Structure 1
Amino acid sequence: MYYGLDIGGTKIEFGAFNKKLERVAKERIATNTEDYEQLINSIVDLVEQHDKKFGEEGTIGIGLPGMENAKDGTMLTVNIPAANGQPLRQDLQDKLKRKVSVENDANCFALSEAWDDEFQGKSTVLGLIMGTGFGGGLIINGQVISGSNHVAGEVGHTRVPIDAWLALGDNPPLLDCGCGKQGCLDNYLSGRGFELLYTHFYDKKCSAQDIITAYHCDDMQAKEFVDRYLEFTAMCFGGLFTALDPAVVVIGGGLSNFDTLYEELPKRIPRYLMSVASCPQIIKARYGDSGGVRGAAFLNLPLTDD
């Protein structure tokens, strides 16, 4: 049995998956974000309850908004203060007496999508989340590529490329990022960035949904903005795709519901690729809110048949 836990700032979602990768259990509890010992005990309780239910010890994968420090195993996670700076994986392994895998939630999202039946034959799948922030995960041959510092796939903290920067006009907004740098893609390709850029150009605040609704109603200002944003996004994606060369790109997050992305980006991106390259298949995420827990469980899938 494969267990996955998607730990967020408000809830922990647990899922159990059988050998056919079918979900056979689901449970949600509140996340204790302030008391580390209680957070650990709540995870242990979920696992032990389901061990008893299924009569076996399941493998354990955890996805959360953050990453493990490659040097000392402590967590960097702003949204879960209780776990920040703590050796979460090691403490759970000590309590549960088995291996525990921990990954960034964007990597789990990408892994979930990569194990869709249609994409298992694709060698490289890139997951991109255009939600509150912009992030991603890279999957090669069914395995998360997290890098030596566990930051591979952190595309949101690469910088806006020069052609995209110039496309923002004579006075582009240089936005501060939570990572301490400026000009990170996180602040431009996220839903938040979509709204901030609209405010920058038109000096009025408007939600992403309202902008998109106005676009579909042929509002000229919204259409002008969306056209500029699509070209900006194509320039940014062109650089990412050149470096990573994915076969499939799966987009999640709130902006993934803007279907114009899938119509327009494949037409625009080739201009920003090398002449020998073609645009990868770009699709909307298929597993929605369940992607995180599904991907967490799949951290422990065998890569070959034994």
Structure 2
Amino acid sequence: MIRIGVDFGGTKIEAAALDVEGRFQARVRAPNPREYQAAMELVRDLVAEAERQAGATGTVGVGMPGSISPRTGRIRNANSTWLNDRPFAEDLPRVLGRLVRLANDANCLALSEAVDGAGAGERVVFAVIIGTGCGAGLVVDGRLVEGRNGVAAEIGHMALPWPAGDELPAPACWCGRQGCNELYVSGSGFEASYLRAGGQPLAGPAIVAALREGEPRARAVFERYVDRLGRAPAAVCDVVDPDVIVLGGGMSNVDELYPLLPAAIAPHVFSDCFDTPVRKAAHGDSSGVRGAAWLWPPPERGA
């Protein structure tokens, strides 16, 4: 049998077919048309093409921005705001003509890395996307923890803990709150911090290149970023005390983060010790589509 995973991203949609051991049998992608009906029809076509290439039909799981409200059944909290208040969980199965399992894209990252990635073999896996935005997911004993209201572990729109200095007054976020972690620890937040420090408008990789070349401004901005990225998950550590923290998204590819982050987290955890490893997502950009594939059936190897 195969599992089909769909990564419904803001700029592209990808579908992939995985066998029971998690090996790719097909991968197809196309730009997201960013129009509701057209996007659902593209998902249908990509799933059909992945199944054609794999030579089999499979279950379908979809990782998406935001989440489905238990109250209304509609999408909420998506930074692709054109999806919000849409009955995606009802409409997508109708367009595909089959049952579909849906989960937040950060939850898919967490599930993928817990099944056979950087969190494999660990009981409690906390994963954070630090890309254009910031999202997070939690897996315990191989199962997603989404919570009664569907927002478990969602730190992106919690306020940055212990703000000080130029973090006050807290800036407004697109979500309607102020001072959200996403404003500081996402790749977009990193770029905005560099600009505020007097630098030129640069993309994250260019700022990292400047850091590696020894530019003082880039170094100072990076050190501030590490401090903020340490504070953000520390509050979660006090609640669930994960066995591993996994990072995904564009900023997770900055290798300089990993030797520094445990020491940045530790002072903010209510404990006399902190030895939780912080690891890069083993599957990189593939974690989203892989995690979506593992949504159905349950993520048990050989199932």
TM-score, length-scaled by structure 1: 0.86
Task: Give the aligned residue type for 2:7.
Answer: D
When residues 120 and 69 of structure 1 are mapped into structure 2, their CA distance, relative to the original with a 3 A threshold, is: same
Q: What CA deviation, in whole Å up to 9, does each residue of 1:204-255 have, x standing for no partner?
A: 3342334333332333333333333322332333222222311111112222
Residue 296 in structure 1 maps to residue 297 in structure 2: no
Return the alpha-carbon distance in structure 1 between the equivalents of residues 201 and 119 of structure 2.
37
Identical amino acids, percent of aligned pairs: 36
Structure 1 partner of 2:105: 105
Return the alpha-carbon distance in structure 2 between the equivalents of residues 106 and 188 of structure 1.
18
When residues 51 and 253 of structure 1 are mapped into structure 2, their CA distance, relative to the original with a 3 A threshold, is: closer
When residues 195 and 48 of structure 1 are mapped into structure 2, their CA distance, relative to the original with a 3 A threshold, is: closer
Return the alpha-carbon distance in structure 1 between the equivalents of residues 241 and 194 of structure 2.
30
Gap regions ≥5 residues in structure 2:
none
Return the alpha-carbon distance in structure 2 between the equivalents of residues 67 and 26 of structure 1.
24
When residues 247 and 132 of structure 1 are mapped into structure 2, their CA distance, relative to the original with a 3 A threshold, is: same
Structure 2 partner of 1:203: 198
Task: Give the aligned residue type for 1:27.
Answer: V
The higher radius of gyration belongs to 1
Return the alpha-carbon distance in structure 1 between the equivalents of residues 13 and 191 of structure 2.
29
2:153 touches 2:236 (CA, 8 Å); kept in 1?
no
1:4 touches 1:60 (CA, 8 Å); kept in 2?
yes
Gap regions ≥5 residues in structure 1:
none
2:118 touches 2:281 (CA, 8 Å); kept in 1?
no
Return the alpha-carbon distance in structure 2 between the equivalents of residues 118 and 257 of structure 1.
14
Task: Give the aligned residue type for 1:24.
Answer: Q
Return the alpha-carbon distance in structure 2 between the equivalents of residues 53 and 227 of structure 1.
46
1:8 touches 1:80 (CA, 8 Å); kept in 2?
no
Task: Give the aligned residue type for 1:18.
Answer: D
2:15 touches 2:50 (CA, 8 Å); kept in 1?
no
Residue 258 in structure 1 maps to residue 259 in structure 2: no
* Alignment RMSD (CA, Å): 2.6
Question: How many pairs are equivalent?
Answer: 299
Q: How does 1:261-300 map to 2 (within 5 A)?
A: 261-300=257-296
1:248 touches 1:281 (CA, 8 Å); kept in 2?
yes
Structure 1 partner of 2:150: 150
1:8 touches 1:65 (CA, 8 Å); kept in 2?
yes
Q: How does 1:40-51 map to 2 (within 5 A)?
A: 40-48=40-48
Return the alpha-carbon distance in structure 2 between the equivalents of residues 151 and 285 of structure 1.
22
Q: 2:184 pairs with 182, 188, 195, which one?
A: 188
Answer with 83-92 or 243-252: which moved more.
Answer: 83-92
Answer with 98-107 or 213-222: which moved more.
Answer: 213-222
When residues 100 and 173 of structure 1 are mapped into structure 2, their CA distance, relative to the original with a 3 A threshold, is: same
2:249 touches 2:285 (CA, 8 Å); kept in 1?
no
Return the alpha-carbon distance in structure 1 between the equivalents of residues 207 and 243 of structure 2.
31
When residues 42 and 72 of structure 1 are mapped into structure 2, their CA distance, relative to the original with a 3 A threshold, is: same
Residue 136 in structure 1 maps to residue 132 in structure 2: no
Answer with 143-152 or 185-194: which moved more.
Answer: 143-152
Structure 2 partner of 1:239: 235
Q: How does 1:57-136 map to 2 (within 5 A)?
A: 57-76=57-76, 77-79=78-80, 81=82, 83-94=83-94, 96=96, 98-116=98-116, 119-136=119-136
When residues 40 and 244 of structure 1 are mapped into structure 2, their CA distance, relative to the original with a 3 A threshold, is: same
Task: Give the aligned residue type for 1:203.
Answer: G
Return the alpha-carbon distance in structure 2 between the equivalents of residues 236 and 284 of structure 1.
17
When residues 174 and 42 of structure 1 are mapped into structure 2, their CA distance, relative to the original with a 3 A threshold, is: same
Deviation at 1:199, TM superposition (A): 3.2
3-state secondary structure, aligned to 2:138 = strand
Deviation at 1:79, TM superposition (A): 2.3
Task: Give the aligned residue type for 1:3.
Answer: I
Deviation at 1:283, TM superposition (A): 1.1
3-state secondary structure, aligned to 1:299 = coil
1:107 touches 1:153 (CA, 8 Å); kept in 2?
no
1:161 touches 1:236 (CA, 8 Å); kept in 2?
yes
3-state secondary structure, aligned to 2:275 = coil
2:27 touches 2:50 (CA, 8 Å); kept in 1?
no
Answer with 85-94 or 5-14: which moved more.
Answer: 85-94
Deviation at 1:297, TM superposition (A): 0.4
3-state secondary structure, aligned to 1:28 = strand
